[in-house]
Structure 1
Amino acid sequence: MPSAITLIRSASLSDVAQYAYAATAPAESRLIFLAGACPLNEDGSTAAIGDYAGQAAKAIENMQAALTASGASLQDVISTRVLVASTRQEDLVAAWEVVRDSFGEHDVPSTLMGVTVLGYYDQLVEIEAIAAVLDS
């Protein structure tokens, strides 16, 4: 299935960012708005307690399950927002590196934010996403 996503870069913006600055999808694409992917195990317990990278990996795994159920994949994601419960930049970077590596060459526009608290006990990471697909 052809990708609906076009990633946009600009030579006039810094190339330090590890993602595209914008993305588009054609009008005929179906948008999928995902709830924040949390680092929860199937039994509802929080995975990788105290581990930012581990929780980011579990959140990505859960996001992939939601995308699959929606008829999409990580390659169909048009943007993300990564929320990290920390005031330390190194904690944000630890989570971000897992997210970035999971997307590989499909470096979607993303926002990385430090927040004070997330919804589940011991939760450190949550990842929101929007995807777009072209249905046949």
Structure 2
Amino acid sequence: MTRSLIKGSGKYAAAVRAKRAGLLEISGLAAYDEHGHEVFPGDLMDQTRYVLTELMQPILEEAGGGLDTVCRLSVFTTNIRQWPTVWAEVQPIIGTPPAVTVVEIPSLVGKIAMVELEITASTNGNRSERQEVRAVTQGAVPVVRKSIAGRDWDLHAAAFQLGEGDLIFLSGLGPTDGDGNTVGVGDPGAQTRQIISSMSAILREAGGSLDDVVRVRVFATDMKNRAAINAERMKAFKEPRAVSTFVQVSGLEEPDWLVAIEATAFIPKLDH
């Protein structure tokens, strides 16, 4: 048993207990085919089903799990009113409902995307087709199945599977200096650099570095700034880069913030 559900009174689990070793973090994914083209315009149901079965499920299987090992499902959608109907159709694919968060946002990456899904799962660590001999117990291992390995994973990994070590959860960071003043007003690239600099300092204090980051969530006030934000991420983070979700929000903590970034790092426990 890799997970145990704490049932609530609603349609989702109230909480899920999972072991850290074998924990799998999957990037936020939208409905793009192998050529990078968006699919199923205007159809939230088919976009959701495609992400779950054609993208998420192969990654889960590669890590020794399946959709029934999902602990947490985060749903970012541009049409929350349709979600109850969609959930009624896709829930049998997942099985017993995990912990679920559903949020409506004004825009996603791309022109027709209506949903982006992000998953945390508890797997047994028995990867099926990978050739690497590095054990999951030695740290955070990038996971991608051969069937989707040809897609563009330059900006972020498809998934990371965790072994023994410490998880470091960073608050959502804004572009502020040590005195709390906003840095780079009007410049999304400069703001991103400041956030990453703050993130690096926090991780050094925790005994880690940017290389230990396994998940980021980027909250931007305008998708037009995505290129500038991602350019700074590409410079700062080495491959394989952390799994990632990028969403547009209607506002951030301070009115002159263009971006905020939340991160999770994994510092492995190494045998000496």
Report the CA distance between 1:135 and its aligned residue.
Answer: 4.2
Q: Is the aligned partner of 1:15 residue 2:178?
A: no
Q: Contact 2:140–2:268 at 8 Å: present in 1 too?
A: no
1: CA distance, partners of 2:265 / 2:185: 28
1:102 corresponds in structure 2 to 236
Q: Is the aligned partner of 1:125 residue 2:259?
A: yes
1:116 corresponds in structure 2 to 250
Q: Contact 1:82–1:96 at 8 Å: present in 2 too?
A: no
1:55 corresponds in structure 2 to 191
Of 188, 196, 217, which aligns to 1:81? 217
- For the pair shown, the structure with the greater C-alpha radius of gyration is 2
2: CA distance, partners of 1:46 / 1:117: 15
Instruction: Tell me which stretches of 4 or more aligned residues in structure 1 moved more than 6 Å.
Output: none
Q: Contact 1:53–1:95 at 8 Å: present in 2 too?
A: yes
User: 1:12 is paired with a residue of what secondary structure?
Assistant: helix
2: CA distance, partners of 1:111 / 1:126: 12
Percent identity over the alignment is 31
Gaps of 5+ in 2: 1-137
In the comparison of the two structures, how many residue pairs are matched? 131
Report the CA distance between 1:21 and its aligned residue.
Answer: 0.6
Of 126, 139, 148, which aligns to 1:4? 139
2: CA distance, partners of 1:67 / 1:95: 20
Gaps of 5+ in 1: none
TM-score (normalizing by structure 1): 0.87
Query: Residues 21 and 94 of structure 1: is their aligned pair in 2 closer, same or farther, counting only changes over 3 Å?
Result: same
Q: Give the aligned CA root-mean-square deviation in angstroms.
A: 1.6
